[in-house]
Copies of this chain bind each other. A is one copy, B any other.
């Protein structure tokens, strides 16, 4: 069978919408709140977004509204890394447009924002959408990371929009992409063009989150997929009783994914980068924190366990951050001499000899493979590719060395054997969970309503997510409201402020209270594979993060 049985069955799944979006489109009205302010740097942002700063929050309510029926032509872009549910944002947007007016059209721009710049378009028809409903991936029109940044790119985007007679452009992306959407909205306004720009909050990383965005789509599905795998590994560890499994998890900078998976699976150790940075921990102290449970469990005869490691870890260890900065400087400064070297041994020695003492101490303490990776794997700018560093292997190596020393000193009496894993691509394109399928469909439909009512510079918003879908609150949040200035490549730029793990917030609090027991005991919890059918508590649960964050309200 060309299409798997599950994919075929999922085509029939009818995503759940908030009640306000379910009935006749003539009954979806908008209530606007008061003018808003940015998170920070208000004066500067008011200056950048002269025409769109301070727009009010929009909430959909049941009240008569003839405006939703005008015919529209809307463009849509998928931007940045994949996240489960992107196809449902498109499906919800498409269905909303057609419900409003069968003559409305949806045009996809391929390969990310550059598709809008270069006018690489594909008509989104009912037939095309059918094959992508409730599926993972971004392959309906593809994605890409090129943002619309230069004046020339903005002009070309406008020309494309006018060529197609677009009433709006929907950008489905993360924080950078939605910031881009805000700038595009401002640009169109500045040209007197009535072309709306609406964003949708995507990222599996879970860091596009604030008071108004309860969750970024894809986080639910990705973390549940990783939790399935970690649970299986835990069951294996507990059955074989032979290995310590180190599992690195995607998540870019913040540790939301690692924290969520830890809450679902209760591993022996889960490192949270934000805590490590807050405490100013050295690499040595991080290694100690991992070795402690290993030794204590060994004393009880448990020579096995599971450690979760967030992808961004090394960027949060101050001395490692310093080392990377020095390496980047050194390799740029001595590029010619370095290029003349012909083997790895000479290269690592060259580098070591030229680092400042503190950085050299850290560099020399690293395993050979990592020392090589740091100077060989560099990005097109010549900088160390931190994401390519096999952090889980780095930790295993350093833990191994520490345990060997402790064994010699008689303080560790266990037997040591490790396995390493890295999960990222395995979860980014899974079939969206019922939650993500519903959430994304609702975001797309809500985007239609915002567009139909002429709003621009808004993020499609669906909230109250821990309640049944019928009770979700839909509307739009002005993009400028979530912004501040941050330094990018030496310049102050407007960006939507991201959320790192809050060390004072409930999810981390629950984790911190339980982890000492999880470290020494074996408290594993096995979530199993994402289920799309079956009892409500099995197939419609939200993440622990969302559940715990909602409790305090």
Q: Which A residues contact B (CB, under 8 angstroms)?
A: 1-7, 9-10, 81-82, 111, 135-139, 142-143, 225, 228-229, 231-233, 235-236, 238-241, 245, 264, 343-345, 368-369, 419, 421-422, 425-431, 523, 525-535, 537-539, 541
Contacts and interface: CB of A to CB of B under 8 A. Distances in A.
B528 A245 contact: no
A135 B526 contact: yes
A3 B4 CA distance: 30
Contacts of A533: 531, 533-535, 538-539
A246 B135 CA distance: 23
A139 B429 contact: no
A142 B236 CA distance: 10
B430 A225 contact: no
Given A82-B239, A136-B235, A430-B529, 18 more contacts: A2-B523, A4-B526, A6-B538, A7-B528, A9-B535, A9-B537, A135-B526, A137-B236, A139-B235, A139-B238, A225-B529, A228-B529, A233-B425, A421-B422, A431-B529, A529-B529, A533-B535, A533-B538
22 contacts: A3-B525, A4-B231, A4-B264, A4-B528, A5-B541, A6-B531, A9-B535, A82-B236, A82-B239, A137-B236, A138-B239, A142-B241, A228-B430, A229-B229, A232-B430, A233-B425, A235-B429, A236-B428, A236-B429, A239-B429, A431-B526, A533-B533
Contact of A534 (B111, B532, B537): B532
Contacts of A530: 529
Contacts of A111: 241
Nearest 10 interchain pairs by C-beta: A533-B534, A235-B429, A529-B529, A137-B235, A6-B528, A138-B239, A533-B533, A236-B429, A139-B239, A5-B537
B531 A232 contact: no
A1 B426 CA distance: 26
A240 B531 contact: no
Contacts of A139: 235, 238-239
A287 B425 CA distance: 24
Nearest to A537: B5
Given A425-B236, A430-B529, A9 B538 contact: yes
A110 to B, nearest CB: 10
Contacts of A427: 232
A425 B419 contact: yes
Contact of A7 (B2, B7, B526): B526
A79 to B, nearest CB: 12
A128 to B, nearest CB: 15
Contacts of A537: 5, 9
Contacts of A426: 229, 232-233, 421
A143 B240 CA distance: 6
Nearest to A266: B2
A143 B538 CA distance: 30
